[in-house]
Amino acid sequence: MTDASAAGGSGAELRQRIVWGVGLAVVALAVAVAGGWITVVAAAVLTFIVGWEWTRMTVPRAPSALAPALGVPAFAAAAVIVAGFEAHVAAVIVAGLGAVLMGAALRSAWAAGGVVYAAALGIALVALRLDPVDGLVAVLFLFAVVWGADTGAYTVGRTLGGPKLWPRVSPKKTWSGFLGGLAVGIAAGLLVIAIAGRPVTLTLGVVALALALVSVAGDLFESAVKRRFGVKDSSHIIPGHGGVMDRVDALLFAAAAAAAIGWAHGGQDAVGQGLLRW
């Protein structure tokens, strides 16, 4: 997620970030629109990469034991594939079992946490998208809130500046960016609802606010983890952006929250409807 008041680097670096950022957004939207097993497989691949980056960052000795190290992303991705069969409870069980086994194999609570962290993203996205009624709108609503909050935080924070949000963890983020991001995230999410022809309600505004807040928490969480291990980027897979985790940290927390809300309100077979219909 973009720092609220980041300078953006040189012109060439900024252009590279924009090109790759737009390209990744287009791919994400195309996968969301495609739905079905295209979405499931894409979510599993995304989850595997996040799990690999997490292990690479938090379990330094993992490369000396290649098979156990790959077990973290493998278990996380397997849980997403299970979710693709609309067996969401079983997917959560697979992720939990993988966390226990990998924590023991690598003797690391961070390895166990990595399975849960990575699997949460893929399971949540699949559970939302596979809703037969509101799956696509639910995912687009989620994307709009998270991307809107990110863009709003960057734009407002860079324009207004001011006091820092949490300088010890993320020294570039400002309170003005935080508040601006929340406002833009809510507006973007409700715009998607309006375009989809659904009623724009106060309750959905509250849901959008909750997801925007959680997205900020996800961003700060990854920043704290990277500081804990002295890492600037989770990897260097994406030119100008670092790793995949660096781009989906906010989305991961927001997706998990959205799926939890939808599941609690609509049941495991109607996660998207549970998120949007109040």
- Could you tell me the CA-to-CA distances from 217 to 9, 97, 134 in Å, in that order? 25, 26, 26
Specify the 3-state DSSP secondary structure of 171: strand
Average pLDDT over residues 26-51: 97
Are residues 118 and 74 in contact, defined by beta-carbon separation less than 8 angstroms?
A: no
The candidate with the shortest Cα–Cα distance to 148, out of 119, 191, 106, is: 191
The candidate with the shortest Cα–Cα distance to 144, out of 29, 235, 36, 228, is: 29
Rg (CA), the chain: 18
List pLDDT tens digits, range 175-192.
999 999 999 999 999 999
Residue 133 is given by DSSP the state: T
The candidate with the shortest Cα–Cα distance to 170, out of 214, 229, 219, 236, is: 219
Q: What is the pLDDT of residue 66?
A: 58
pLDDT band for 12, please (50, 70, 90 cuts): confident
List pLDDT tens digits, range 209-259.
999 999 999 999 999 999 999 888 888 887 766 889 989 999 999 999 999
User: Mean of the per-residue pLDDT values for the chain?
Assistant: 91
List pLDDT tens digits, range 57-73.
888 665 555 566 789 99
SS3 content of the chain, % helix, strand, coil (to 5): 75, 5, 20
